[in-house]
Structure formats: C-alpha cells, structure tokens
Chain A
Amino acid sequence: MAEASKTRGLIKFIVWLAIGVALSGYLWVEYYNGTLVSWYYYKTASDGWAINSHTFANASKDKPAILEIGNFKKIEGLQAVPVKKGDRLPTNTNGIIDKKTVLEGKRVTLEGNTLKVTVPTQIKEAKGFKFKDTFMHKGIETNPWGGAWSVAFILALGFSLGLMAEGFTDMCGLKLEKIKHYEGVH
C-alpha cells in the first residue's frame, strides 16, 4: 500500500517536474529570443524620441551625450528615433524622451539633427540611497497580451511546482494527512 503510494508520488513528481522545467525553459527561450523584452518595450505612450538610456550612462552638463536622430530600426549606441504615440518601439529602446522635456530644454535640447542629453541614466536623489531613472522605462506601453500571458504563465508555473512538491513528499513517504481541526477541546 505504502509502496503504491510512493510509486504514484514518483510518477506525480516526474510529470510535474517535466511540466515545470518545460514552462521554465519556454520562459528562458522567450527571454533570449527577445519576445519578453519586446512585450515590455512595446509601444510609445507619448510623442518624442525613442532612446537607449544606457548609451548615455555618464552624461552630464560638462560632458553631454549627443544622440544622432534617424529612422533606425535598431538603436545602436548614441542614436534616437522620432516616434509618435502608439508607434511600435525600435529594437533596443528602453525609454522615450518626450517632446515636453525637449521643449523645456533643461535636460535635453534639440540641436539640428541631434539631441544633446545633459543627464545620466540615473540620478542619485539628494536624500537617501535611491537612484531615480531619468528616461529608462518612461513613456512606454506594454503589450496587454504579454500581461495576460505572464499572469497565466506564473499561475501555471506555481501550479506545476506545487504539485511537483506534493509528488516529492509522497515519493519520500511523507504523505501528509489532513489536519484534524476539531479534535479535543477547541
């Protein structure tokens, strides 16, 4: 009887382990082929210029970064792509410099066919040890289907890992009984 239970536990463990590994593998494939990133950096939420803020990590007023404006499909280095609200983002984008920021001219100015950026990727806040992003993650819209997929994925992964663990304890002979909540004085 106990052996049969252990065998069932072993089968349960292997099946759900395989499903958990397959789900995790699928997530990593989607990550490395860029799908997850493209779902996150999906569309623009405002008019402006798509940029990769890591390219001007150490920019300052003394050492500004000059971004070349053009209709590039992939941002490589100091480049910026003009975009309108709702446009799909070029590859390697991680933020938008919106028109308002450029019009203000405090952190970014438009000079001919270039953008002059005078702030780094992150600014250390005056108080505390927090760093505030300047343009990273700003002005972007995620893919709603990506959201639904991610929630479904995480629930499915939790389900498979939970049942895998249940199979593991059964396999080890640690079959847990239901707690008797109402025995004795209560």
Chain B
Amino acid sequence: MFEFAIAGISAPIFLLVLTGMTVGMVGGFIGVGGGYMVTPALIVFGFPGYMASGIDVMHIAGKSVVATIRHRQLGNIDWILGLTMVGGTMMGVEMGVRLLNYTKALGLSGIALLTGSVGIMIGLFLYTQIETHKAQKKINELTKAGKTVGRELSVSTLPLFFQNIALRPIVRCHTARIVISMWVIVIIGIATGVLAGFFGVGGGFIRVPALVYIAGATTHIAVGTDLLEIVVSGGYGALRQYMSGNVDMIAVWFMIIGAMFGAQFGSIATSFVRGPAIRYILSYSLVLATTGAFLRLFYMLTAQKYEFLNFFAVVFTLGEMIFLCLFIMTLVIFSVRHRHGKWVPGWIPSLVATP
C-alpha cells in the first residue's frame, strides 16, 4: 500500500502497475486508450471518481507515446492521415464536452451517456463482427484456392463510397495508400471527437473502426495512427484534467511503468496477426464494455435499487481486461506454433500472419 498525498488515499502499487500493464497490452494491440476499463478499476482501488478519470487520461497520454514509438518501428503509422485528423478531433472533443454539459444542465447526462454508449457500441460490435466474419471466410476460401493472402482483408464497401467524394483538397496518405478528401478525414475526426468528448473517453474504440470502414486504412495502420492521435488528444485532455485538480502524478507514474511493458507486448503482438484478428478483439472489447455499461444503465433505470447490478458491472469491466490480455497472448502463442508447423486450432491460420 502506498499513501498518495495528492489523491489523499492509500492504494496497492502492485494493482496499479498490473492495471497499467493489462490496459497497455490491450491498448497497444487494438489502438485504444482504455479509459472505459481503467476508470472503474481505479474507483475500485479507492480513488475518487474524478481522480480516477484524471489519472486515467494522463496515463493514456504517456502510454500512447510508448505504443506509438513501437508502431512507428513496425510501419503502422500514417503521419499525414493522423495529423490531418488531429484538428478535427480536438474540435470534436470540445463540442462533445459542451454537449455533455448541456445534457447535464437538462439533468439527462447519466442516462443519456449510458444509452448512447450502449447503442453505439452494440452497433459497432455487430458491424465489426459481421464484416470480420465475412473477411475470415474469404481468407479461408482464398487460402484453399492456393492464393497468398496478405495482412489485411476487409470486405466492407463503405471506404470506396467515402474515397469517391471529390471534395478538394484531396489528401494522399502514402503509408495507408489512401487518396481521400481532406474533409472526410476532418469529419471523421470531428465525429469521433464529439463522441469521445461526450462519453469522456479517448475515442479509440470508435476511431479505429472509422479509419478502417470509412477511410479505408488497414487495421494495423488504423491502430498505429489512432495511437498517434491519442498522444495529441490525450495530452490536451490531460492538461484539462490537471487544471480541474483530477491528477495524482505518482499514481500516473506507477501506471506508466506497468503500461510500458504491456504496450510493448501489445504493439509487437500486432506483427503476429492479420487485420481481422485485431478487429475481432476490438469487437469483443466493445461487447464486454457494453455489457458493463448496460448493467450500469439498468442499475440507474431501476432507481439504484439492485446493488448487484452495479457490482457485476465493475466485475465485468475488470474481467474484461484479463480476458482480452489472455486472448491476445493466446493468439501470439498460436501464431508462433503455426510458424513452426505445430498443431493449432482450425480458426487460427486465417487470423495469424505467416512470415
């Protein structure tokens, strides 16, 4: 246990480091900050709610730098795409925060937030699951036909529609091999920023699917580019949180130390898998987070009568982190086995990359 002089509480260092590590691994792999997992965990460790979200945002900013450096080495970052989107994201975050304050003034924020997040997450989960399942099926068919399948295979036709919008200026993103109107990228930034600001999260779980299904980037590049985006938006969010008195820097330091190990593993793990594997994990993370949010929504709608709903919401959120880490580690282990010609389950070859 460590006495946090600023937060004014005692909390176990080991759990802080472990949380940083698990969320770092998931974040490095699917390109999210992990705010929707960390904040409930910190509240369980005894941090006040406002401190939990402030510590979370500050640690996300630092952790994203660690993961971005590794993704840069792996060639997963499109700097033009990322930097074009930054302006839109910042504007969107500010609009989202104002929208949140407006709903707060109407006395609707709690229920509006949870209903909105449940709706968006279920929608994203279903679309990602259906599309990824189709992509995996196609990979299997192509492999059977004796063709070499690359890292990425997406069957979504949405990117073609958005790439055909001829609104100048047109941006050429060389790494992502996308030619697209700058306004489409800026609007993706604004839209995902509004959602991020409104829901009080980094927005990666919305931005990664948006980069894949709207801009048409590969999943690996979407993950790396999104982490670059989080460095900027997370840094801005961290400054705002500090000014609001929500940050204990020593707690952030412990989490960053754990995140350094986790983010390395998560980022490097992307080089072992194909795009659909990342999209699967992203969609499972969405549905697990949705279940937690749904339980909390039900708890609020029943006038906070059934305490077990709130308890299970927290348990679900913490369990989600462990489940996702185990899933990522399993994929890496099976990928290595597959490379060495050892037995792997039938669903693995279409998800892992062959050198």
Contact = CB atoms under 8 A, between A and B. Distances in A.
A180 B271 CA distance: 10
The interface size bin for chain A is: 35 or more
A130 to B, nearest CB: 7
Interface in B133-162: 142, 147-153
B65 A151 contact: no
B242 A128 contact: no
A166 B73 contact: yes
B220 interface: yes
Given A54-B8, A127-B307, A31 B249 contact: yes
B180 interface: no
B58 A154 contact: yes
Contact of A181 (B43, B151, B244, B252): B151
Nearest to A144: B243
Contact of A184 (B5, B148, B220, B248): B148
Contact of A165 (B51, B59, B76, B264): B264
A131 B148 CA distance: 57
B62 A36 contact: no
A155 B61 contact: yes
A176 B76 CA distance: 12
Name which of A24, A128, A151 has the most chain B CB atoms within 10 A of its CB: A151
Given A155-B65, A158-B62, A166 B70 contact: yes
B85 interface: no
A185 B238 contact: no
Nearest to A175: B73
B87 interface: no
B64 interface: yes
A24 B62 contact: no
Contacts of A185: 142, 147-150, 153
A158 B66 contact: yes
A150 B75 contact: no
Contacts of B149: 184-186
B61 A163 contact: no
A176 B268 CA distance: 8
B62 A130 contact: no
Nearest to A138: B245
B232 to A, nearest CB: 10
Contacts of B307: 127-128
B65 A137 contact: no
A147 B61 CA distance: 13
Contacts of B59: 154
A162 B66 contact: yes
A72 interface: no
A158 B256 contact: yes
A179 B256 contact: no
Contacts of A44: none
Interface string A154-173: 11011101110110010000
B65 A150 contact: no
Contacts of A142: 242-245
Contact of B70 (A121, A165, A184): A165
Contact of A176 (B62, B238, B271): B271
Given A150-B242, A154-B61, A176-B271, A137 B70 contact: no
Contacts of B142: 185
Contacts of B264: 165, 169
Contacts of B153: 185-186
A94 interface: yes
B245 A40 contact: yes
A165 to B, nearest CB: 5
B252 A128 contact: no
B62 A150 contact: no
A181 B268 CA distance: 15
B177 interface: yes
B148 A161 contact: no
Name which of A24, A140, A162 has the most chain B CB atoms within 10 A of its CB: A162
Contacts of B271: 176, 179
B114 interface: no
B1 to A, nearest CB: 16
A176 to B, nearest CB: 6
A148 B239 contact: yes
Nearest to A158: B65
Given A150-B58, A166-B70, A169-B268, 16 more contacts: A37-B6, A130-B49, A133-B8, A137-B50, A140-B245, A141-B245, A147-B243, A155-B65, A162-B65, A162-B69, A165-B69, A178-B74, A179-B74, A181-B177, A185-B150, A186-B153
7 contacts: A36-B6, A137-B51, A150-B58, A150-B238, A155-B235, A157-B253, A159-B69
Interface of B: 5-6, 8, 43, 48-51, 58-59, 61-70, 73-76, 142, 147-153, 177, 218, 220-221, 231, 235, 238-239, 242-245, 247-250, 252-253, 256, 260, 264, 268, 270-271, 304, 307, 310-311
